[in-house]
């Protein structure tokens, strides 16, 4: 197989067959060339701006039991917390003061946050002129509708894996059909829809990752956030091998080549495996970073996986840290809300 030609084809046409994606994901020798092509496509389609989204981890209480996640309901070791409405609003106001144009509100599936409570919070945040991304798991159509009406603009819900059997094995009590239903409801309601996968799950061959990429293309995802799976010692997958940064990086590059207009974050989980991972990802196709704006000990307690970065740092420190690194590679911090670009869709 001529890898150089394959990368060229992806850069020109934004189309690859499953077998071609597999070949590129498997070939580490061509990773640099793949990343450079993705970086050029990123420059042409979404430009040099990096969108910073302030992440508020507002509850680590979860009714679900995903085998990979430290917040799963059967994990008795995690110290549970739930932010008060006043704390959430305080962190959102601070996010605004750091210059962030979007807040990402993420939590476990915490039933305390009823539609009434959360909608009230969303309306107040909306008055701060911030874009709002929600990442709170599986809800009904009516709930998604209420959140949209209260001001949510975007919704992140990873498919995690498009392998139906693997999904249902890893997410006991949850169904793949319902995950798809959530994505389709969100799209129907006019959200910008973000999804993504865990890379390096047990029993997840490269062929399965290639199908994930084609799925994101097929549903025309507005955002795709992927991260290496990092085994957590307090979960049933404590002995699993986990994903590698190299594979995650090639996945990001292929995402940019196949979905040139999408917003693609350089994720925290990547940086857990490599101290410069977010910058490398930004140079391999990514254009978004989500610095944490949750304060104090909550950062440590939102323990999806071990080795999470920035747990002892303040939001102000992270703001300075990540901005400095971004500017050092010649990129700009965006002054805009960073909605998905459609300007080049005829390219
Ligand atoms: N509860 C919501 C949901 O599941 O969509 C949002 C919060 S959940 C903690 C956010 C993401 O964390 C999940 O989509 C999953 O991909 C990721 N995650 C969970 N456990 C992880 C692990 N051990 N390693 C890497 N990422 C993990
Ligand atoms: Fe809960 Fe989300 Fe973790 Fe699953 S991934 S246990 S839904 S917080
Ligand atoms: Fe938190 Fe660098 S982004 S310390």
Q: What percent of the chain has pLDDT over 70?
A: 99
Please check the confidence at residue 250 and state whether its pLDDT lies above 70. Answer: yes
Give residue for tokens 């590698």: 244
| Residue 104 dihedral angles phi and psi, to the nearest 5° | -105, 115
Domains and CATH numbers, the chain: 16-333 (3.20.20.70)
Closest residue to atom 4 of ligand 3, CA basis: 318
pLDDT at residue 151 is higher than 60: yes
| Segment 202-228, tens digit of pLDDT | 999 999 999 999 999 999 999 999 999
Ligand 3 pocket, Cβ-based, cut-off 6 angstroms: 291, 310, 313, 317-318, 321-322
Strand partners, 228: 199
Tell me the CA–centroid distance for residue 207 and ligand 2, in Å. 25
| Cα 272 to averaged position of ligand 3 atoms, centre (Å) | 11
Give the pocket of ligand 2 (CB within 6 Å).
62, 64, 66, 69, 71-72, 108-109, 137
The CA 187 to ligand 2 mean position distance, Å, reads 21
Which ipTM value was assigned to this complex? 0.99
User: Which residue has its alpha carbon closest to ligand 1 atom 5?
Assistant: 137
Residue whose tokens read 């323990």 = 303
Nearest CA to ligand 2 atom 7: 64
Distance 309 CA to ligand 3 centre (A): 7
3-state DSSP assignment of residue 221? coil
Given a cut of 80, whether residue 345 has pLDDT beyond it is no
Per-residue model confidence as pLDDT tens digits over 176-204:
999 999 999 999 999 999 999 999 999 99
The pair phi, psi for residue 130, each rounded to 5°, is -115, 145
Torsion sign, CA atoms 103, 109, 112, 117: positive
Per-residue burial over 82-121, b = 16 or more CB atoms within 10 Å of its CB, e = otherwise:
bbeeebbbebbebbbebebbbbbbbbbbbeebebeebbeb
- Judged by its nearest atom, the ligand closest to the C-alpha of residue 229 is 1
- Beta carbons of 345 and 262 less than 8 angstroms apart: no
Q: Alpha-carbon distance 313 to 5, whole Å?
A: 45
What lies within 8 Å, CB to CB, of 13 at 6+ separation is none
Index of the ligand 1 atom closest to the CA of residue 305: 23
Name the residue with the closest Cα to ligand 3, atom 3.
318
Cα 312 to averaged position of ligand 3 atoms, centre (Å): 9
Residue with tokens 């159509």: 141
Contact 11, 298 (CB under 8 A): no
Nearest atom within ligand 1 for CA of residue 70: 20
Whether the Cβ atoms of residue 88 and residue 58 lie closer than 8 Å to each other: yes
How many angstroms separate the alpha carbon of residue 314 from the centre of ligand 3?
8
74: pLDDT strictly greater than 50: yes
For range 153-161, the mean pLDDT: 98
Atom of ligand 2 at shortest range from CA of 304? 3
Residue ID of nearest Cα to ligand 2 atom 2: 108
pLDDT, tens digit, 9 for 90 and up, residues 297-340: 999 999 999 999 999 999 999 999 999 999 999 999 999 999 99
CA nearest ligand 2 atom 4, residue? 66
**In this predicted model, what pLDDT tens digit does every residue of 265-300 receive, in sequence order?**
999 999 999 999 999 999 999 999 999 999 999 999
Q: So what's the pLDDT on residue 347?
A: 38
Q: Is the pLDDT of residue 30 over 50?
A: yes
Q: How confident is the model at residue 344 (pLDDT cuts 50, 70, 90)?
A: low
For residue 191, what are its two tokens? Answer: 């959200």
230 CA → ligand 1 middle, Å: 10
Q: In this structure, are residues 123 and 103 in contact, taking their beta carbons and an 8 Å threshold?
A: no
CA 109 to chain centre: 17
pLDDT given for residue 248 in this prediction? 98
Write down the pLDDT at residue 342.
87
């Amino acid at each position: 197989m001529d890898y150089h030609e394959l990368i060229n084809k992806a850069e020109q046409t934004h189309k690859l067959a499953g077998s071609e994606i597999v070949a590129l994901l498997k070939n580490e020798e061509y990773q640099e060339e793949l990343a450079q092509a993705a970086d050029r496509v990123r420059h042409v389609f979404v430009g040099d701006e990096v969108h910073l989204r302030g992440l508020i981890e507002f509850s680590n209480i979860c009714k679900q039991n995903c085998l990979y996640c430290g917040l799963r309901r059967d994990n008795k070791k995690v110290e549970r917390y739930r932010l008060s409405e006043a704390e959430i609003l305080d962190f959102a106001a601070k996010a605004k003061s750091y210059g962030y144009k979007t807040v990402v509100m993420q939590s476990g599936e915490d039933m305390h946050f009823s539609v009434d409570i959360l909608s009230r919070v969303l309306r107040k945040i909306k008055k701060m002129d911030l874009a709002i991304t929600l990442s709170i798991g599986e809800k009904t159509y009516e709930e998604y509708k209420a959140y949209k009406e209260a001001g949510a603009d975007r919704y992140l819900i990873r498919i995690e894996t498009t392998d139906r059997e693997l999904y249902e094995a890893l997410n006991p009590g949850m169904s793949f059909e319902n995950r798809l239903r959530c994505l389709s409801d969100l799209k129907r309601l006019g959200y910008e829809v973000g999804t993504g996968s865990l890379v390096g799950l047990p029993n997840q061959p490269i062929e399965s990752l290639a199908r994930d990429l084609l799925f994101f293309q097929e549903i025309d995802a507005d955002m795709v956030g992927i991260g290496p799976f990092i085994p957590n010692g307090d979960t049933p997958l404590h002995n699993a091998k986990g994903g590698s940064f190299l594979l995650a990086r090639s996945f990001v590059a292929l995402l940019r080549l196949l979905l040139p207009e999408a917003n693609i974050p350089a994720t925290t989980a990547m940086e857990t495996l490599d101290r410069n991972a977010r910058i490398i990802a930004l140079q391999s196709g990514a254009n978004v970073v989500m610095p944490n704006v949750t304060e104090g000990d909550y950062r440590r307690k939102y323990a999806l996986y071990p080795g999470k970065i920035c747990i002892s740092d303040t939001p102000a420190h992270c703001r300075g840290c990540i901005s400095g690194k971004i500017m050092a590679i010649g990129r700009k911090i965006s002054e805009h809300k960073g909605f998905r670009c459609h300007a080049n869709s005829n390219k």
